[in-house]
Structures are given as structure tokens and as C-alpha cells.
Amino acid sequence: MVNPLRHEASCLQILVVDDNPANLKLLTGILTHHGYQVRPASSGRLALRSVEAEAPDLILLDVKMPDVDGYEVCRRLKTHEQSRGIPVIFISALDEVTDKVKGFEAGGVDYITKPFQAAEVLARVETHLALRRLQRELEAQNGQLQQEIGERKRIESMLRNSEANYRNLFDHAPIGIYQATVEGSFLNVNQAFARMFGYESPVDVMTTVKQIARELWREPLNCRKMIVSALAESGVVNAEVEFLRRDGSTLIANLYLQAVRDSDRSVRCLEGFVEDISDRKRAEGDRENMRSQLMQAQKMQAIGTLTGGIAHDFNNMLTIILGYAELLLDDTEESDPAYADLAKIVHTSHNGAELVQRLLTFSRQTETQAVKLNLNDEIRQINKLLSKAIPRMVEINLVPADDLAPIEADAGQMAQVVMNLAVNGSEAMPDGGKLSIETRNVVFDDKSCLTRHGAKPGKYVLLRVSDTGHGMDKDTMDRMFDPFFTTKGWDSRKGTGLGLSVVQGVVEQHKGFIECSSNPGEGTTFSVYFPAMREDVETEAPVGRPIPAAGSETIMLVDDEEPIRALCKRHLERAGYSVIEAGNGKEALELYRNNYAGISLVLLDLIMPQMGGKQCMEQLLKMNPDVKVVIASGYSSGGSEHKASELGARGFAAKPFNMGGLLRTIRAVLDTK
């Protein structure tokens, strides 16, 4: 539909007032090009004279001028009958709310902010000329249309009420509402929209945001796609959108967008309704995180159960290998070439037993036990696992200190600390890099401790793990020790977010402390400090001969594995003991009942068919509260010295047996009263 004002433009006069020649020329050109007669004036005084000579149809009036400013010009025009009805549109670079209010108070009908768009100027000029024309027509027909005026006033009142109701609904709606041009500039926003995006007011939004897609959408291309869809559809289009708040944070929202059209189907504006669903999405994410955590916990529990079962069977096999190797070693002279081979079998069997213990520790199936250890030895052992767990393009560099002081720590937990830090470092280098693991002796005085949280004066052993990876920013470093915090996403194949929190817990449990230094693109260094201990702990007795702690008592050996019974029987009889064998708990109870007085000690396996060691122990105590029992187990979750004591046993022997240690345990229990 053609705008009728375009046909009348050549008859309409517009007074353009601006002291800036460039602006005056620009506005004159825009209006002249569209057929309007333009009367330029370069000052307020010239504008007043021009109006006095001949009243224009509309005035575009600059605010800041050297002689008489635009506000004063407008006030003077409104005091004269000849010029009172001329619509005045202020055009200025002043965009504060107070400036606009001042313009309206002076009598202006509109306010255009520089820099302006030609389309905006023309649209507003046309609008107010149309209003001016209607005003004149009404005035010309005033005498004939008194009744219609009354009706019109009533209609206008209804429209105002409707407008007020709409405005009230618009301003107080709980969801964000905005109106914008197709080009992407705001026309109107409500308070909820401003608050949602972190702005003080709707005016703050409209004066700050110049391009909606670029400044408020995380993916501007998606904005343009949605606008195209809204223009093509006759109804509302909907999508879940990631917006950007003023502070740069993400706002997740449902956006309902529609094109508001005039009666001729031309697009007046785009209208959007924004529903903030950030909290809901966060809650859904939390539920998903909890589900992932539960699945990971169940997975770890299953792994632990499987590992424990494997450990039991594997330790039984190691017991046989180690036991017979020790028998052969005891019967072989050191000068015999076979002696060195047998010693290697014994040593390798012990390494296998340590590996099982590490697997049980990682799967949380063993209790922690602090012993005197050298951190260098633990790192060398862990390095064998790291070489298989870490990609080959990551170079591992060990820098152990000479004469490193010992620490009192749980070997399994130390392995966990080193493994977690090393794996974290390698994952920060997906394209390869260098992973350094260093140890050192350090000493802190009072002054040094002031800048180190958790440090006390004294000697420490430093474990430092460094990588050349992508590093961390401050926000990540602030949260890196939080349980379940991860930068890898909630994918159980990538991580649980527990690694560093476990490391921190282990370090604090050992009365140490941990420091981290990192910058994006510069790698990361973790420095872990453990209190050093004095080297005043006795070393373990060497494996092999001579086997100590012989005796002549009778021992009942209870184990469902015949090869283990045969092996233990040979060692016990070699040490002078008499041995009675039982293959399960029920058989053991029957034998004990028949040989009550003659059995001095029971060596009892825990995991057996028909009747396990725990039930057998309970029945033995009922028969004889003073019975001496040493519990044996190859599954740490089912047995430890502490748990054995809780069951009523006098001692505990972990499989695979060190036969010398087993005989010493038996002798010690027999010698107790």
C-alpha cells in the first residue's frame, strides 16, 4: 500500500535547524531526495525568523546551538498561536533520559538520537506529518463534527486505556519482552528483559546494545536464521537460545519470536518473548551429573568386587609359587647357579603381590597403612604403570633426589597421588609434551611458612609434577580441588572430577600440603610437601633362610586350596610343627571338636566354600573362647590385622605368604597367654 504522504511531499515544507553544516546538508539531502521542500536554518534565531515569516509543516530541531538552544526555540514557538501546532522533532547526540524528557517538556513530539538512520528520520517525519495533517483536517471540520469528536474522544480514551493496560502488562510481565527492527536494533524492552540480561533498566538496554545479534547472542548466525524463519512464518517460531548477559555469563532461554505486521502485511517490527530457563537447565545438568556420579560409583564398586575376587585367586597362586620357591631356595647353596634363579622367582613373586595390593588400593578394596617409605622407590614402581597409561607422545622425565629423606605414608595412597597428578598432566597435553616428576628435600623456617597455607617449620620431602600443557585460568584453579569438578565434561570415560580432590585429601591426611602454579598456555606445576621422618625404623628381615621361629606344637591348617595346604604343611613340619589339615570350615569344626586339647593353633583361611572362615571362627570361639587363631586371606577387603582382631583372632597373615613372616606370626601367637 502506497503511503499518501509521498504524493503530498512536494507540498510539505520542513524546517531543518542545525548549526553543524554537515548535519544540515545531510538532513536536507535525505528529505529533498524524498520530495520534501526543505528550509534550512543554521541557528535558533534564524529558525524563529523563518517560522515568523511562514509556518512550516514540521521542524527538525537540533538541541545544542550557540545562540538559542533547541529547547528555548521550541518553548518560544509554543507560546505563539501561529506556531503552537507545528510538530517539533528534536534531533541530537544527547541520549540521556533527562535530555529527552526536557525536549518533551519544551513541547517536542519526538526525539531522534544521533547518529541516526535515514529510514528512522523519514519514518518519524512521515508519522508526525500524518498526525499534523490529521490535526488540520480535524480543526477544519471541527464545526461540523462535534458529535464525532465526542465519539472520537471516547474511542481515544478506550485506546489510551488499552495502551495503558498493554503497557502495564508489558512492563510487569515476568518474562522478558522486546520489540526490535528487522536490522537488529531495539525499539522497546521491558523491565524483566533488562533484569534478565543484567542491565539496570530498559533504557540502559536500548542505549547500550546497538546490535542484538552481535552483542546478546552467543552464536550471532543463529539469530539471523531465527529472524528469517520468523519473517517466513505467519505465527511464532520457538528455539532454545544461549544469550550473553552483560557480564559475559551465559543465559539459556526459550525464545518465542514473531513478526508484527501492519494491515498491508508489511513488517512493523519483530517481537520476542524470552523465558529464562538457566536454573532449569542447571538442575537438569546437576541431575545428569548425579546420574553420572552414581554410575561411576557403581562402576568402581563393581571393579572393586571383581578386583577383590581376582586378588584372592591370584594371591593363592602367588602363595604356591613363592612358598615352593622359598623351600627350594632354602635347600640350595648360594654358590649353586640355581640359587640366583630362585631368588629372582621370589623377588618377582613379591612384586606381583605388591601389584595386587596396588590394584586393591586403586579400587578402594584395602585399608590404608602408613609405613616408612622412600618416595623415589614408589615413583619408580608407578613409572612402570605410567608408561602404559600415558600416551607415547608424552615424554616422562624422572628427577629423583639423592639421599631423599623417608616419609611415613601409605604406599598405595602415594601411588594414587603420583598417578592422579601424572595422568592429569598428560591429559593437558593431547598433542604431546613433557611430564616431569621430581623429588627434593626441603626445609621451611617460620618465615617460609607464612606464605604457605598448612605448612609448619621443619623438614619436608617435595614431590613436584610438572607438565607443558595448556595450563589453567584463575577460575579453574579456584575450583580444581572441588569434588566432582571437571573440565572434561561428564563423560565417565574421561574423568569423574575426583582426582585432585582425592589427592588433596591424601596429602592432608599425611599432614602435608599442596601448591599449584599455572597460567593458560604455560603448563601446570603441582608441588606436594610431605613431612620428612627420621630414619630410625628397623628394616625388614631378609627373605629366605634361615626360617626362624620353629616349634613342636600341633597346628590345624584350614584352607580349601589343596596345593596351599600341602605347601604350608611342608613349611610348618620343616619348622617342627605337627599339622592337621581341613578343607573347609565344617571339616575344621569336626576335627577341632575331636582334637580339642591337642590343637594349639588354627591357621584359618577366610574365603572357603560351604562354610567360610568368619562363620568357622564364630563356632570355634563358642567351643573354646581361648582358641588361638591366625586368619589368612588373599583379599584385603575381607581381612586385615584390625578386622581379624575384631573377629576374635590373635593374628593375621596376608597371602601370598612370606613363609618366614608367617612362622614368626604363628610363633608370636603361640607364645602369648
Question: Contact, 380 vs 344, CB < 8 A?
Answer: no
pLDDT value of position 536: 54
Q: Tell me, yes or no, whether 105 and 41 share the same domain.
A: yes
CA distances from 335 to 322, 331, 332, 340, 545 (A): 21, 12, 8, 9, 14
The residue among 394, 402, 385 whose CA lies nearest residue 461 is 402
DSSP state of 256: E
User: For 212-216, which contacts have Cβ atoms below 8 Å and span 24 or more sequence positions?
Assistant: 212/180, 212/184, 212/185, 212/186, 213/184, 214/184, 215/244, 216/243, 216/244
Lowest mean pLDDT, pick from 226-230, 353-357, 659-663: 353-357
CA–CA distance, 213 with 230 (Å, rounded to integer): 15
Distance, in Å, from the CA atom of 192 to the CA atom of 125, rounded to the nearest integer, reads 31
In this structure, are 70 and 37 located in the same domain? yes
Over 50: is that where the pLDDT of 2 sits?
no
Domain annotation covers residue 159: no
Q: Kindly state whether residues 192 and 95 are assigned to the same domain.
A: no
Q: How many angstroms separate the Cα of 423 from the Cα of each of 394, 430, 618?
A: 11, 11, 45
Q: Is the peptide bond before 430 cis (omega within 30 degrees of 0)?
A: no
Q: At what angle do helices 21-33 and 118-140 cross, to 10 degrees?
A: 60
Query: Does residue 495 carry a pLDDT above 60?
Result: no
DSSP strand pairing (13-17 vs 58-62)? parallel
Q: Where are the alpha helices (DSSP H) in 363-498?
A: 375-389, 411-427, 446-449, 474-479
Q: What is the pLDDT of residue 264?
A: 87
pLDDT value of position 237:
92
Q: Using the predicted structure, report yes or no on whether residue 460 has a pLDDT greater than 50.
A: yes
CA–CA separation, 378 and 467 (whole Å): 20
Q: How confident is the model at residue 143 (pLDDT cuts 50, 70, 90)?
A: low
The answer on 635 and 499 residing in a single domain is: no
How many other CB atoms are found less than 10 A from the CB of residue 54?
A: 10
Lookup: cell for 612: 567360610
Quick one: 474 and 582 in the same domain?
no
**Statement to judge: residues 48 and 106 lie in one domain:** yes
Q: In the chain, what's the furthest Cα-to-Cα distance?
A: 137
Instruction: Kindly state whether residues 245 and 191 are assigned to the same domain.
Output: yes
DSSP letter at 9 equals G
Same domain, 115 and 194: no
Query: What mean pLDDT is predicted for residues 74-99?
Result: 90
Residue 353 sits at φ, ψ, to 5 deg, of -65, -40
pLDDT of res. 300 = 57
User: pTM of this prediction?
Assistant: 0.41
The reply to whether 329 falls in a domain is: no
**For residues 518 and 472, is the Cβ–Cβ distance under 8 A?**
yes
Our CA dihedral for 282, 286, 292, 298, rounded to 10 degrees, sits at -170
- Give the confidence band of 544 by pLDDT, cuts at 50, 70, 90: very low
234 within a domain of the structure (yes/no):
yes
Select the more confidently predicted residue: 156 or 5: 156
Say what percent of the chain tops pLDDT 90.
37
Same domain, 567 and 612: yes
* Whole-angstrom distance, CA of residue 170 vs CA of residue 177: 7
Residue after which a domain boundary falls, among 496, 531, 566: 531
Output phi, psi for 444, to 5 deg: -115, 130
Residue 183: CATH number of its domain = 3.30.450.20
391 and 467 assigned to the same domain: yes
User: How far is it, in rounded angstroms, from Cα 363 to Cα 416?
Assistant: 10
Question: Which residues face 394 on adjacent strands?
Answer: 433
Give the mean pLDDT of 483-505. Answer: 59
**Cell triple for 360:** 586393591
The rounded mean pLDDT for the chain is 83
Distance CA 148, CA 340 (A): 121
Q: Are 358 and 386 in contact (CB under 8 A)?
A: no
User: Which of 193-202, 304-313, 441-450, 470-479 bottoms out in mean pLDDT, i.e. has the lowest?
Assistant: 304-313
Which of the two residues, 544 and 250, has the higher pLDDT score?
A: 250
**pLDDT of 591-610, one tens digit each?**
999 988 899 999 999 888 88
Q: What is the mean pLDDT of residues 59-75?
A: 92
Nearest one of 399, 414, 359 to 635, comparing CA atoms: 359
Q: What is the pLDDT of residues 413-426, one digit of tens each?
A: 888 888 888 888 88
Q: Is the pLDDT of residue 238 over 50?
A: yes
CB atoms within 10 A of CB 610: 12
Residue 1, pLDDT > 90, answer: no
Q: Which of 242, 280, 277, 239 is nearest to 258 (CA)?
A: 239
Mean per-residue pLDDT, 643-653: 85
Give tens-digit pLDDT for 331-341: 888 888 888 88
CB 513 within 8 A of CB 452: yes
Angle, helix 375-389 to helix 337-362, in steps of 10 degrees: 80
Q: Tell me: the pLDDT tens digits for 554-577?
A: 999 999 989 888 989 988 998 999
How far apart CA 76 and CA 107 sit, in angstroms, is 10
Q: Which residue range is the domain that position 628 belongs to?
A: 554-671
Q: Is 85 helix (H, G, I), strand (E, B) or coil?
A: coil
> Rg of the Cα trace of the chain?
44
Q: Is the model's pLDDT at 189 over the cut of 80?
A: yes
441 part of a folded domain: yes
Q: Which pLDDT band holds residue 396 (cuts at 50, 70, 90)? A: confident
Neighbours of 521 (CB within 10 A): 8
Task: Identify the CA nearest to 503 among candidates 416, 631, 440.
Answer: 416
> Domain check: are 384 and 524 in the same one?
yes
Q: What is the pLDDT of residue 610?
A: 86
For the beta carbon of residue 516, count every other beta carbon within 10 angstroms.
14
Q: Is the pLDDT score of 504 beyond 60?
A: yes
Residue 199 has pLDDT above 50, yes or no: yes
Q: What percent of the chain has pLDDT over 70?
A: 86
CATH number of the domain enclosing 574 = 3.40.50.2300
Among 554, 670, 642, 657, smallest CA distance to 605 is for 657
Q: What is the DSSP string of 39-52?
A: EEESSHHHHHHHHH
Q: For strand 407-410 and strand 433-444, is the pairing parallel, antiparallel, or unpaired?
A: unpaired
Integer angstrom CA distances of residue 197 from 45, 193, 220, 242? 45, 6, 16, 12
Beta-bridge partner residues of 89: 60, 110
Each residue's pLDDT tens digit, 90-123? 998 888 889 889 999 999 999 999 888 999 899 9
Q: DSSP 3-state assignment of 547?
A: coil
Residue 336 domain flag: no
Residue 339 lies in a domain: no
Task: Tell me if 439 is assigned to some domain.
Answer: yes
Q: What's the whole-number mean pLDDT along residues 131-143? A: 79
CATH of the domain at 520: 3.30.565.10
**Domains in the chain: how many in total?**
4
Range with the lowest mean pLDDT among 125-139, 172-186, 235-249?
125-139
524 near 401, Cβ under 8 Å?
no
428 within a domain of the structure (yes/no): yes
Say what the pLDDT of residue 105 is: 92
Q: Which of 235, 253, 276 is the last residue of a domain?
A: 276
**pLDDT above 80 (res 621):** yes
Residue 487, pLDDT score: 64
Comparing 234 with 238, the larger pLDDT belongs to: 238
- Dihedral sign computed on CA atoms, order 358, 363, 369, 370: positive
State the alpha helices, DSSP H only, in 372-527.
375-389, 411-427, 446-449, 474-479, 499-509
Judgement on whether residues 9 and 115 belong to the same structural domain of the protein: yes
Q: Can you tell me which residue has the cell 591357621?
A: 603
* Each residue's pLDDT tens digit, 511-540: 888 888 888 888 899 999 999 986 554 444
| End residue of a domain, out of 121, 140, 159 | 140
